[in-house]
Amino acid sequence: MAKDPLSEIVEFLKPDARLDLKHISVEHLVGLSASEDGVKTLLKNEQVIQNVIELTDDKVEEIAKNALLVLVNVSANANGATELLKYRPTKRKNVLDLLVSYVLNPQKKDADAACMILSNITRLEDELEVCLDSFIPHLNDILNAFVNIDFNKKGSNLHYLAPMFSNLSCSYRIRKWLTEENPHVPVIKLLPFCNYEQSNIRKGGAIGTVRNLSFDIEYHDFLLKNDLDLLTYLLNPLMGNEDYADDEMDKLPITLQYLPKEKKREVDVDIRKMILETLNKLCTKRKGREMLRDNGVYYVLREYHKWEKDPKALLACENVVDILIQKEDEVGVEDFSTVVVPEDMKEKFTKMDDEYLKVA
């Protein structure tokens, strides 16, 4: 039987181990965890992982930081993220509870690494409902920490909580919380970050959360309420400094009229595609389509289409435009979600899209 290559350093990873040996050992694990094979090796030694988890709260900040970096790398691997959920830190019921405590501690210097691990773990669709039992009691506190840009006093920006919220919103329980929590509705706090220029991570996570909400038709009426002003946040990244005719300008949400000449479009194509996918979903019901038409979405997409170069984004844009340019009697259906598309037609549409992308 092959000897475990990590067995010799287990003792050096204990909280009371000699400082220099502990420091060197954790640094070694950071390098090891940077590769898939290294992660596999780490996962074979449960005691090493347990010790690393304990060291994330080490009194020496550099050791705590490196221990967290090891877990960032381990959790970036789907199997590694799953395995981490099995561990129980001292004085905490599970790893998630420990990481959340770091996020909510304004004096935790490396809370950003904890956010990254939480983002990685919540990507596990099969484990999401299990994770929620740990998250739900703390959701309002986590959100308040996220929206308070200066919450962490040691330099952590907590940006990676945004993709974590996006991952969590794949669950119906979280979508319900995002839209129904009282007295402050969480999604209202998240919306401004759809236009947050200082971080694409925050911006992408906020838009991803809204997109996941739009996939659930139950929330379309909520999302399109006038006081939510969602279309302002979605259209702003797609707009440049182009001029519109007066009658077209009058249809746009008031804050998007007469934008400054220095206005630039969103540079991240993935964010642009998420916005287009959200607009597409909001076209599912007649009420949504009419709301988009009444707010000049077609005019914005017409100008955006002239600028866009990415074939997939262009196709996503055209899919929305093709719906909006039709009158409702031409659309011929109240709710697209009730339309049953035969399998052969699905294959035909997929083939058409593939051919479009090849030509583009």
Tell me: pLDDT of 360 over 80.
no
Position 1 scores a pLDDT of 39
Position 337 scores a pLDDT of 78
Position 353 scores a pLDDT of 64
Name the nearest CA neighbour of 239 among 192, 284, 272.
272
Position 127 scores a pLDDT of 93
Neighbours of 303 (CB within 10 A): 18
Tell me: pLDDT of 23 over 60.
yes
Tell me: pLDDT of 40 over 80.
yes
Read off the pLDDT of residues 41-65 as tens digits, 9 standing for 90 and up: 999 999 999 999 999 999 999 999 9
Across 123-152, average pLDDT? 95
Position 348 scores a pLDDT of 58
List the end-to-end C-alpha distance of the chain, in Å, as a whole number. Answer: 56
Position 329 scores a pLDDT of 85
The pLDDT-based confidence of 349 (bands split at 50, 70, 90) is: low
Residue 310 tokens, joined? 């990415």
Q: What is the mean pLDDT of the chain?
A: 93
Position 334 scores a pLDDT of 79
Question: Does residue 333 sit in helix, strand or coil?
Answer: coil
Indicate the pTM of the whole model: 0.92
Across 245-256, average pLDDT? 96
Tell me: pLDDT of 258 over 60.
yes
Position 355 scores a pLDDT of 64
Question: What CATH number is given for 1-168 in this structure?
Answer: 1.25.10.10
Position 328 scores a pLDDT of 86
The pLDDT-based confidence of 6 (bands split at 50, 70, 90) is: confident
Tell me: pLDDT of 91 over 90.
no
Dist CA 100 CA 148 (whole Å): 16
Position 7 scores a pLDDT of 81
Position 2 scores a pLDDT of 46
List, in sequence order, every residue forming a beta bridge with 285; answer none if it has no partner.
Answer: 335
Concatenated DSSP letters of 134-177: HHGGGHHHHHHHHH-TT--TTS---TTHHHHHHHHTTSHHHHHH
Position 225 scores a pLDDT of 92
